[in-house]
Amino acid sequence: AQKVTQAQTEISVVEKEDVTLDCVYETRDTTYYLFWYKQPPSGELVFLIRRNSFDEQNEISGRYSWNFQKSTSSFNFTITASQVVDSAVYFCALRGTGNQFYFGTGTSLTVIP
Amino acid sequence: KAGVTQTPRYLIKTRGQQVTLSCSPISGHRSVSWYQQTPGQGLQFLFEYFSETQRNKGNFPGRFSGRQFSNSRSEMNVSTLELGDSALYLCASSFSRGGAWDEQFFGPGTRLTVL
Protein backbone atom coordinates (compact mmCIF):
# COMPACT_ATOMS: atom_id res chain seq x y z
CA ALA A 1 0.00 0.00 0.00
CA GLN A 2 1.12 3.50 -0.74
CA LYS A 3 0.56 6.14 1.88
CA VAL A 4 1.84 9.55 2.83
CA THR A 5 1.36 11.01 6.30
CA GLN A 6 1.72 14.64 7.19
CA ALA A 7 0.98 14.69 10.88
CA GLN A 8 1.11 18.47 11.20
CA THR A 9 -2.22 19.88 10.11
CA GLU A 10 -1.48 23.53 10.84
CA ILE A 11 1.66 25.39 11.81
CA SER A 12 2.05 29.06 12.69
CA VAL A 13 5.42 30.74 12.94
CA VAL A 14 6.61 34.30 13.27
CA GLU A 15 8.41 35.73 10.30
CA LYS A 16 12.12 34.88 10.15
CA GLU A 17 11.71 31.75 12.22
CA ASP A 18 12.74 28.39 10.76
CA VAL A 19 10.04 25.77 10.28
CA THR A 20 10.16 22.08 9.40
CA LEU A 21 7.29 20.26 7.75
CA ASP A 22 7.24 16.52 8.35
CA CYS A 23 6.43 13.82 5.83
CA VAL A 24 6.42 10.07 6.40
CA TYR A 25 5.66 7.64 3.62
CA GLU A 26 4.89 3.97 3.11
CA THR A 27 5.53 1.99 -0.02
CA ARG A 28 6.55 -1.49 -1.09
CA ASP A 29 8.08 -0.26 -4.31
CA THR A 30 11.85 -0.25 -4.49
CA THR A 31 11.81 2.57 -7.00
CA TYR A 32 9.71 5.54 -6.10
CA TYR A 33 9.69 9.30 -6.19
CA LEU A 34 8.90 11.83 -3.51
CA PHE A 35 7.64 15.33 -4.11
CA TRP A 36 6.76 18.50 -2.29
CA TYR A 37 4.16 20.87 -3.66
CA LYS A 38 3.02 24.27 -2.45
CA GLN A 39 -0.61 25.30 -2.81
CA PRO A 40 -1.18 29.03 -2.37
CA PRO A 41 -4.72 30.38 -1.89
CA SER A 42 -5.15 30.54 -5.66
CA GLY A 43 -5.36 26.74 -5.64
CA GLU A 44 -2.75 25.75 -8.19
CA LEU A 45 -0.18 23.24 -6.97
CA VAL A 46 3.34 24.52 -7.43
CA PHE A 47 6.13 21.99 -7.73
CA LEU A 48 8.98 22.46 -5.24
CA ILE A 49 11.17 19.38 -5.36
CA ARG A 50 11.40 15.81 -6.55
CA ARG A 51 13.58 13.03 -5.15
CA ASN A 52 14.02 9.46 -6.30
CA SER A 53 14.45 6.59 -3.91
CA PHE A 54 18.08 6.03 -4.82
CA ASP A 55 19.20 9.53 -4.03
CA GLU A 56 19.34 10.26 -0.33
CA GLN A 57 21.38 13.40 -0.64
CA ASN A 58 19.88 16.34 1.12
CA GLU A 59 19.13 19.32 -1.03
CA ILE A 60 19.18 23.02 -0.42
CA SER A 61 17.58 25.61 -2.66
CA GLY A 62 17.79 29.09 -1.26
CA ARG A 63 15.80 29.14 1.97
CA TYR A 64 14.38 25.68 1.31
CA SER A 65 16.03 22.41 2.26
CA TRP A 66 14.92 18.81 2.22
CA ASN A 67 16.05 15.88 4.34
CA PHE A 68 15.38 12.45 2.82
CA GLN A 69 15.98 9.44 5.08
CA LYS A 70 15.01 6.02 3.78
CA SER A 71 15.77 4.41 7.13
CA THR A 72 12.88 6.30 8.69
CA SER A 73 10.81 6.69 5.49
CA SER A 74 10.79 10.41 5.91
CA PHE A 75 11.17 13.34 3.57
CA ASN A 76 11.08 16.49 5.65
CA PHE A 77 11.03 20.04 4.35
CA THR A 78 12.60 22.99 6.15
CA ILE A 79 12.07 26.66 5.41
CA THR A 80 14.77 28.87 6.86
CA ALA A 81 14.01 32.47 7.81
CA SER A 82 10.35 32.14 6.88
CA GLN A 83 8.55 34.93 5.07
CA VAL A 84 4.89 35.88 4.83
CA VAL A 85 4.89 34.73 1.18
CA ASP A 86 5.62 31.22 2.42
CA SER A 87 2.11 31.03 3.86
CA ALA A 88 0.38 28.22 1.97
CA VAL A 89 -0.61 24.60 2.21
CA TYR A 90 2.27 22.25 1.56
CA PHE A 91 1.77 18.73 0.26
CA CYS A 92 4.13 15.82 0.29
CA ALA A 93 3.48 13.20 -2.39
CA LEU A 94 4.69 9.77 -3.37
CA ARG A 95 4.73 8.20 -6.81
CA GLY A 96 5.58 4.56 -7.14
CA THR A 97 5.08 2.38 -10.18
CA GLY A 98 2.72 3.92 -12.64
CA ASN A 99 1.85 7.56 -12.80
CA GLN A 100 -0.42 7.93 -9.79
CA PHE A 101 0.41 10.36 -7.04
CA TYR A 102 -0.43 9.68 -3.42
CA PHE A 103 -0.69 12.89 -1.49
CA GLY A 104 -0.51 13.58 2.20
CA THR A 105 -3.29 15.60 3.76
CA GLY A 106 -1.20 18.73 3.68
CA THR A 107 0.23 21.12 6.24
CA SER A 108 -1.17 24.61 6.37
CA LEU A 109 1.63 27.05 7.16
CA THR A 110 0.90 30.56 8.37
CA VAL A 111 3.77 32.98 8.69
CA ILE A 112 2.89 35.87 10.95
CA PRO A 113 4.55 39.20 10.18
CA LYS B 1 4.72 27.72 -22.97
CA ALA B 2 1.16 27.84 -21.72
CA GLY B 3 0.41 25.89 -18.58
CA VAL B 4 -2.39 23.47 -17.88
CA THR B 5 -5.75 25.14 -18.28
CA GLN B 6 -9.03 24.06 -16.79
CA THR B 7 -12.51 25.26 -17.57
CA PRO B 8 -14.68 26.40 -16.04
CA ARG B 9 -12.94 27.69 -12.93
CA TYR B 10 -16.11 27.74 -10.87
CA LEU B 11 -19.32 25.80 -11.20
CA ILE B 12 -22.51 25.55 -9.18
CA LYS B 13 -24.86 22.65 -9.72
CA THR B 14 -27.72 21.02 -7.88
CA ARG B 15 -28.03 17.45 -6.69
CA GLY B 16 -28.91 15.00 -9.40
CA GLN B 17 -27.46 17.05 -12.23
CA GLN B 18 -24.43 16.08 -14.20
CA VAL B 19 -21.33 18.11 -14.93
CA THR B 20 -18.45 18.07 -17.40
CA LEU B 21 -15.07 19.59 -16.62
CA SER B 22 -12.40 20.24 -19.19
CA CYS B 23 -8.62 20.15 -19.03
CA SER B 24 -6.12 21.22 -21.69
CA PRO B 25 -2.64 19.90 -20.95
CA ILE B 26 0.63 21.58 -21.71
CA SER B 27 1.42 21.34 -25.40
CA GLY B 28 3.18 18.06 -26.12
CA HIS B 29 2.04 16.37 -22.94
CA ARG B 30 0.14 13.16 -23.50
CA SER B 31 -0.75 12.10 -19.98
CA VAL B 32 -3.58 13.74 -18.08
CA SER B 33 -4.52 12.86 -14.52
CA TRP B 34 -7.47 14.07 -12.48
CA TYR B 35 -7.62 14.60 -8.72
CA GLN B 36 -10.37 15.53 -6.30
CA GLN B 37 -9.48 17.77 -3.37
CA THR B 38 -11.78 18.10 -0.38
CA PRO B 39 -11.10 19.37 3.14
CA GLY B 40 -11.94 15.99 4.62
CA GLN B 41 -10.24 13.59 2.21
CA GLY B 42 -7.43 15.73 0.88
CA LEU B 43 -6.16 15.10 -2.63
CA GLN B 44 -7.39 11.87 -4.12
CA PHE B 45 -6.52 10.38 -7.48
CA LEU B 46 -9.45 9.89 -9.84
CA PHE B 47 -7.97 8.57 -13.07
CA GLU B 48 -5.25 8.96 -15.65
CA TYR B 49 -5.48 9.05 -19.40
CA PHE B 50 -2.67 8.51 -21.84
CA SER B 51 -3.04 8.38 -25.60
CA GLU B 52 -6.84 8.43 -25.31
CA THR B 53 -6.90 5.37 -23.02
CA GLN B 54 -7.60 5.22 -19.33
CA ARG B 55 -4.46 3.75 -17.78
CA ASN B 56 -5.14 4.02 -14.09
CA LYS B 57 -8.18 4.54 -11.92
CA GLY B 58 -8.67 5.54 -8.32
CA ASN B 59 -11.32 4.33 -5.93
CA PHE B 60 -14.31 6.39 -7.05
CA PRO B 61 -17.82 5.26 -8.05
CA GLY B 62 -18.82 4.81 -11.65
CA ARG B 63 -20.55 8.19 -11.61
CA PHE B 64 -17.10 9.63 -12.23
CA SER B 65 -15.87 9.10 -15.76
CA GLY B 66 -13.52 10.71 -18.17
CA ARG B 67 -12.12 10.65 -21.63
CA GLN B 68 -9.22 11.98 -23.59
CA PHE B 69 -9.24 13.27 -27.11
CA SER B 70 -6.65 12.87 -29.84
CA ASN B 71 -5.23 16.32 -29.05
CA SER B 72 -4.69 15.14 -25.42
CA ARG B 73 -7.39 17.40 -24.04
CA SER B 74 -9.39 15.62 -21.39
CA GLU B 75 -12.87 15.88 -19.96
CA MET B 76 -14.20 14.57 -16.70
CA ASN B 77 -17.87 13.87 -16.17
CA VAL B 78 -19.76 13.38 -12.95
CA SER B 79 -23.33 12.16 -13.24
CA THR B 80 -26.07 12.31 -10.64
CA LEU B 81 -24.25 14.81 -8.49
CA GLU B 82 -24.24 14.45 -4.73
CA LEU B 83 -23.50 17.04 -2.08
CA GLY B 84 -20.26 15.23 -1.30
CA ASP B 85 -18.99 15.84 -4.80
CA SER B 86 -18.39 19.47 -3.91
CA ALA B 87 -14.65 19.83 -4.26
CA LEU B 88 -11.76 21.33 -6.13
CA TYR B 89 -11.01 19.17 -9.16
CA LEU B 90 -7.42 19.37 -10.28
CA CYS B 91 -5.99 18.25 -13.57
CA ALA B 92 -2.31 17.46 -14.08
CA SER B 93 -0.39 16.77 -17.25
CA SER B 94 2.92 15.15 -17.95
CA PHE B 95 4.86 14.26 -21.06
CA SER B 96 4.78 10.52 -20.52
CA ARG B 97 3.80 8.09 -17.80
CA GLY B 98 6.05 8.36 -14.84
CA GLY B 99 9.45 8.38 -16.42
CA ALA B 100 12.45 8.90 -14.19
CA TRP B 101 12.15 12.65 -14.19
CA ASP B 102 8.68 13.05 -15.59
CA GLU B 103 6.97 15.78 -13.70
CA GLN B 104 3.28 16.47 -13.37
CA PHE B 105 2.16 20.03 -13.88
CA PHE B 106 -1.09 21.01 -12.24
CA GLY B 107 -3.80 23.32 -13.46
CA PRO B 108 -5.61 25.88 -11.29
CA GLY B 109 -8.55 23.58 -10.74
CA THR B 110 -12.32 23.76 -11.13
CA ARG B 111 -14.21 24.45 -7.95
CA LEU B 112 -17.50 22.59 -8.06
CA THR B 113 -20.26 23.37 -5.58
CA VAL B 114 -23.25 21.06 -5.38
CA LEU B 115 -26.35 22.52 -3.74
Residue ranges of chain B whose pLDDT lies below 50 = none
Per-residue pLDDT at A110 exceeds 80: yes
What pLDDT, on the 0 to 100 scale, is given for residue A57?
80
Characterize the bridge pairing of strands B110-114 and B87-94.
antiparallel
Query: How far is the C-alpha of B87 from the C-alpha of B72, rounded, in Å?
Result: 24
Give pLDDT, residue A43.
83
For A38, nearest residue in chain B (alpha carbons): B106
Number of CB atoms found within 10 A of residue B23's CB: 27
- Residue A1 confidence (pLDDT): 79
Q: Scanning every residue of chain A, which has its alpha carbon at the shortest distance from the alpha carbon of B32?
A: A99
**Each residue's pLDDT tens digit, B70-80:** 999 999 999 99
Nearest-by-Cβ selection for B108 from A42, A103, A106: A42
* Residue B90 contacts A, CB cutoff 8 Å: yes
Q: Report the DSSP beta bridge partners of residue A46.
A: A38
Average pLDDT for A22-30: 93
| Closest chain B residue to the Cα of A49, Cα to Cα | B103
A15, pLDDT greater than 80: yes
Identify the residue among A27, A101, A103 best suited for mutation to test binding to B, counting B beta carbons within 10 A and taking the highest. Answer: A101
**What's the confidence (pLDDT) of residue A98?**
66
Which pLDDT score is estimated for A86?
96
At A99 the pLDDT is 65
d(CA A79, CA A111): 11
Q: What is the pLDDT of residue A80?
A: 96
